Amino acid sequence: MNDSTTMHPSIETYEQAIEFLFGRINYERLHHDLYSTSDFKLDRMAHLLERIENPQLHIPVVHIAGSKGKGSTAAMIAAGLRTSGRKTGLFTSPHIDAFEERMVVDGVQPTREELTRLVDDISGVVRQIESEPGHVSPTYFELTTALAWQHFRNNRVEWAVLEVGLGGRLDATNLCQPFVSVITSISRDHTRLLGSELDQIAREKAGIIKPGVPVVCGVEQPEALAAIEDAAALCNAQLWRLGREIQLEYNPQRHTARVVTPARTWPEIHVPLFGRHQAANTALAAAAIDLAHHADQDRPSIPVEPARHAIEHIKWPVRIETVRLHPTVIVDAAHNWASYQALIETLDTLKPNTTLDKSTLHSANLGNLGETLNHRHRLLIFATSRDKDIDGALRQLLPHFDTVILTQFQNNPRAVPVESLHRRVRELFDTPVHTTADPAAAWHLGRKLAGPDDLVCVTGSFFIAAEIRELVRDQPLTRHETPPGSTA
């Protein structure tokens, strides 16, 4: 250990590890308007990885970018890859309850003790970098990515699935060795960093495409798809496109997908997450698994039936997730135009949960459950981030709800103050709304206003969805409330 690290005490507890991480330069916890694309360069990440002996060079990955659907698709792919018998890592962000959710091996998070050791190991490297002239401290996300690589190496992971944090070309995850790349979708988000036009955003996300590495693509808009096709052609990368090489037949009554790729025909898959868009994500996951199956003949095969079963049984929180019944409470991480549209479309096709049982909730099978939810009273709890299109979100969401509660999340300083949200609502709508700066008070008011046959939807940001989700799970049920998996 060098002198610069011996001057600092070792990290011995989980609390010290988390404090060290959150004390770093943290893009996720700072205002976006402090940053531009010039702040996101791969040389700083490359230097950090070099100092920990480049674990990313020895673990092949499926690399996933996109405006929405990255996490859901990543989880499905990882579940399918595990059926090969090879140890599989999964790196996603952000986390909901605990930091270690971001890096799992065969579905298992690192223990608190393991995470503490990982952070202790990397803290000396970081402090040494900070002491060197001309070197800047790694960001929070860069450290998180490096910790995942360390954890995967320590656990002898044989392949991994990586979700891009932001964009693609300059993302910290882009220093990897992919054998399959996936671009789920393109929509306008992070426009100051990625550009305002769809083709600009697509080019940034297409930055994950590598020479000769096959690409799975769910992008639909012609201008965005053209940018992806150009990037794939320049890299001589095989391209499988949803609706062309990848065929999807979706049954909305059964919420099932039939997927055909150039490699094989899949048996009917019960889509594990709510929403038509999740059927598309399921098709992309199946295609990525098929490409992984054929990418290297030295790898064990991925049998289709176990892979289908694994996909059907994933659990992925805050993606149109039902967390309570009577009233139905749905939390969703929607935060841009495309994800709000998917949420509204899903709410308009979901059936009332009065007859849902555990198996129905688990499989997201929505058939034959009665009248549609848009015949019931709908209540919205909304908060969002400063960098988002606030007016667009309000115009898109508010007409679909009878009661609106505005609030702001607490665990990230990017939250839009509730007073600002209220001012924008007054300027755009005549509809009266409730306001509270405290998510706990917003949830308490929502419980008070919602009857057992009503719907409460929490959305606008991953952070508000996660905070309300925790409150809902922690607070006791009232007389007319039931948890998911119970019958009325």
Three-class SS state of 320: coil
Report d(CA 292, CA 283) in Å as an integer: 14
* DSSP conformation class of 385: B
Say whether pLDDT at 146 is over 60. yes
- Please write the tens of the pLDDT for every residue from 383-429: 999 878 899 999 999 999 999 999 999 987 889 999 999 999 999 99
Cis omega before residue 327 (within 30°)? yes
Calculate the dihedral angle through the C-alpha atoms of 200, 274, 179, 78, rounding to the nearest 10 degrees.
Answer: 140
Specify whether the CB–CB gap between 425 and 433 falls below 8 A: yes
What are the tokens at 476?
A: 């006791």
Where residue 37 falls among pLDDT bands split at 50, 70, 90? very low
- Residue 322: name the closest of 96, 108, 482, 452 by CA: 482
Q: Which domains does the chain have, with CATH numbers?
A: 3-312 (3.40.1190.10), 321-474 (3.90.190.20)
Q: What is the pLDDT of residue 414?
A: 83
- Cα(159)–Cα(268) distance, integer angstroms: 26
If DSSP codes are grouped into helix, strand and coil, which group holds residue 105?
A: strand
Q: Phi then psi for 12, rounded to 5 degrees? A: -115, -15
Q: What is the pLDDT of residues 243-279, one digit of tens each?
A: 999 999 999 989 999 999 999 999 999 999 988 899 9
For the chain, give the percent of residues with pLDDT over 70: 84
For the segment 72-94, what is each residue's pLDDT rounded down to a tens digit? Answer: 999 999 999 999 999 999 999 98
With 80 as the cut, is the pLDDT of residue 469 above it? yes
**What is the C-alpha to C-alpha distance for residues 81 and 303, in angstroms, rounded to an integer?**
10
Angle, alpha carbons 344-347-348 (nearest 5°): 85
Q: Is 332 exposed, middle or buried (0-12, 13-18, 19+ CB in 10 A)?
A: buried
**CA 245 to chain CA centroid, nearest Å:** 25
Q: How far is CA 109 from CA 55, 71, 98, 271, in A?
A: 19, 16, 10, 24
Confidence at 297, pLDDT banded by 50, 70, 90: low
The model carries a pTM of 0.86
- Give the side-chain half-sphere CA count within 13 A for 280: 21
Q: Rounded to whole angstroms, how far apart are CA atoms 76 and 257?
A: 14
- Taking alpha carbons only, the member of 165, 167, 166, 163 closest to residue 178 is 163
Is the pLDDT at 231 greater than 90, yes or no?
Answer: yes
∠194-200-205 over CA atoms, to 5°? 65
Structure token digits, residue 324: 């309570």
